[in-house]
Amino acid sequence: MLASALPSSPSAFRPTGLMSTDTILPQLLELICDLYDDSQGFPDRTDDAQRWYNRGYANGVIHALQHLGYARHVAAALELDAPDPSAGHEALPWGRAYRHGWEMGRKETYDVMETS
């Protein structure tokens, strides 16, 4: 369902050779800023699960970066959402899309950052 319009993911930045964190981090920060721009107004768009997925993906990337020690970089890049913008929507299609995006963004960020 959502696979046809998935956002650019950190796996797109997976190094074929060894890339440094200094190379990957700016790309991830640009990705989350782009996804935040593309998903503005997502809480009011329950008819657009892709927008919710994209916001979840961005927030999953942010979560991983913060836990890897890059919270300062993330905070400098953009103003973050409230802690859980999908609260109260978890069982609904758009809430599930958000959660799936969050899980994928988190997982793929750890994957690419561990290979750097």
Q: Where are the domains of the chain?
A: 20-114
Please tell me the pTM assigned to this model: 0.84
Q: Which of 68, 89, 65, 88 is nearest to 77 (CA)?
A: 65
Residues 101 and 54 sit within 8 Å (Cβ to Cβ): yes
pLDDT at 20 over 90: no
User: pLDDT tens for residues 21-73?
Assistant: 889 999 999 999 999 999 999 999 999 999 999 999 999 999 999 999 999 99
pLDDT tens digit string along 84-101? 999 999 999 999 999 999
